[in-house]
Structure 1
Amino acid sequence: MNTETADIKAIEQVVATVERTQRARDAEGFLALFHPDALWTTGHGKVLIGLDAIAEFTRAVLPTANWDGEVTYEVVHTQFLRPDVAAVKVRQVYHSAEGDTEGAPLYVMTKQDDETWLLHACQNTEVRAD
């Protein structure tokens, strides 16, 4: 397996862990995916700078998140900006009895010295049906 293929698989694993931790409402598992200097913009435009701010928000919101269905995440495109930096486009779908709603997150991920990929700069955007 070449390096890029291994990195794509590792990135897909991070996104799969985002899905798993969101479904489980596991704030600590989710937070473990972030670089300490991360920047996160929520689907409603709240800007969170640094892991402390992301953690405060996530610990307050995720454990009590209220959606009546399942959420799925799928990597739809990975663009390597450098060998250790990737822009990852994700399709996020909340499935519910009232119908699906979709998000289109963009994750800029960085590869650490230990070969781990972390979320570094992320923007979650709601996809409108109109």
Structure 2
Amino acid sequence: MDIERATADIAEVVATVERTQRAKDAEGFLALFHPDALWTTAHGKVLIGFDAIAEFTRAVLPGASWDGEVTYEVVHTQFLRPDVAAVKVRQVYRGAEGADEGAPLYVMTRGGDGRWLLTACQNTHVVAERE
């Protein structure tokens, strides 16, 4: 396995997540998922299988209201096998009222066609530390 190439391909998937979230492009976002994917939202909603993820995404993403921008940054990639990677992401929504952060974990799998797909994902809202 070419680790540099795989890491770059995975970073491109995360960049596509960012682009599709910014554009509120449900279909572009859904194209990144494995058919048997599992997704848990930052608020704990568990979505099992592509159909459940698609129903939720199509209902929520186009009407999402944030007044700023969202960024996604790969923080760490750990290859569990040559075709499976755990990817830690930093997600930041910036708006007029400040920033809100998430800490998703994407388990991605590489299919026979070489594409990396979101397979088991958990988004976690980061709560600011109190002083």
TM > 0.5 between the two? Answer: yes
**How much has 1:86 moved relative to structure 2?**
0.1
Q: Equivalent residues in 2 for 1:1-130 (5 A)?
A: 3-130=2-129
Whole-angstrom distance in 2 between the partners of 1:3 and 1:35: 22
Superposed displacement of residue 110, structure 1: 0.0
Q: 5+ unaligned residues in a row in structure 1: which ranges?
A: none
Q: Distance in 2 between matches of 1:66 and 1:127?
A: 19
Give distance in 1, aligned partners of 2:36 and 2:43. 21
CA deviations 1:62-83 (Å, max 9, x no partner) are 0000000000000000000000
- The amino acid across from 2:49 in the alignment is G
Distance in 2 separating the partners of 1:31 and 1:114: 17
Q: Secondary structure at the match of 1:63?
A: coil
Paired-residue identity, %: 78
Pairwise CA distance, 1:97: 1.0
Structure 1 residue 51 displacement after superposition: 0.2
Q: Deviation at 1:36?
A: 0.2
Distance 2:42 2:28 in 1: 20
Distance 2:96 2:66 in 1: 10
Query: What runs of 5+ residues in structure 2 fail to find an aligned partner?
Result: none
